[in-house]
Amino acid sequence: MPTFLPSPPVGVWTLGPIPIRAYALFIVVGILVAVWLGNKRYLARGGKPKVITDIAIWAVPFGIVGGRLYHVISDAQLYFGPDGRGLGAAFRIWDGGLGIWGAVTLGALGALIGARRAGVLLPPVADAIAPGIALAQVIGRLGNWFNQELFGAPTTVPWALEIDAAHRPAGYESFATFHPTFLYEALWMLGVVGLLLWADKRFNLGHGRVFALYVALYCAGRLWIEALRIDSANTILGLRLNIWTSLLVGTGALVYLVISSRLRPGREELKVGEADPKLLSGTM
């Protein structure tokens, strides 16, 4: 008999009266790792100490709200349709459901606010934190494993994921094993982390190009991984919404990489304790 990848039997533990949810735990760990790595990289570039931590105070809550909003809006039928879970479920973030596009968009807005308050430029911050964001995604996907969600089509490959009957979508009740798309994305993003670190060192990337490369690589992976998923999703011309989003955002990131490398080759220099006068005056 083949041995498949089992799903964790529980995703919530209790510490006295306090529930410890695996999904939330991995999200928090991922955020902490991202801030740690981003801070280390920013200091290595000559940035001011504690800047990444100060910016994270703004970026993280903005990103969480943005990620949840994108998920709820793009999958509104899950909450507000005829068989929807209701308004209350839209706020139960611990049950899973954070859209990366919303998280990055509002997270970037929060980071911009934090960067302006700290008197630093945003592109070097984005370049410093990009590998950390990718690593946080690797860690965060483990939460999907505990929630038994974000799996793909039925399969019997040796690495297939066992899903309990209660978590199988309608029409797939008779299948027991599925593609572990959460694992595919985690492994893909782990490779992205390594590639970002290598490319940054090899090509001396700057002016937001490390972040743009992260976006392009994530979108490339999301295209084929999204195509394997069978969970409910809105479609446009037969393709899932997230596939269209990946195509558009990924193309935009590639265009930025090309144009930025021509207009601003090399990497901007940072000096410890020195703020950009234009940034502080708001005349950028």
Its pTM stands at: 0.88
- Give domain status of residue 12, yes or no: no
Judge contact between 213 and 261, C-beta under 8 A.
no
C-alpha closest to that of 107 among 144, 78, 70: 70
- Give domain status of residue 77, yes or no: yes
- Give domain status of residue 271, yes or no: no
- C-alpha–C-alpha distance, residues 65 and 254, integer Å: 27
- Give domain status of residue 10, yes or no: no
Domain that holds residue 232: 20-264
- Give domain status of residue 231, yes or no: yes
pLDDT, residue 271, reads: 58
Query: Which DSSP category does 207 fall into?
Result: T
The conformational region for residue 238 under phi > 0 = left, psi -120 to 50 = alpha, else beta, is: left
pLDDT, residue 95, reads: 67
Would you give per-residue pLDDT tens digits along the chain (284 residues)? 557 999 999 888 988 888 889 988 999 999 999 999 999 999 999 998 999 999 999 999 999 999 888 888 777 777 776 777 777 777 777 666 778 888 889 999 999 999 999 999 999 999 999 999 999 999 999 999 999 988 999 999 999 999 999 999 989 999 999 999 999 999 999 999 999 999 999 999 999 999 999 999 999 999 999 999 988 777 888 888 889 999 999 999 999 999 999 999 889 887 544 444 444 344 43
How many domains in the chain?
A: 1
pLDDT, residue 89, reads: 73
H or E, element range at 73? helix 51-74
- Give domain status of residue 130, yes or no: yes
Q: 57 vs 51, 111, 119, 211, CA distance in Å?
A: 10, 9, 15, 19
- Give domain status of residue 167, yes or no: yes
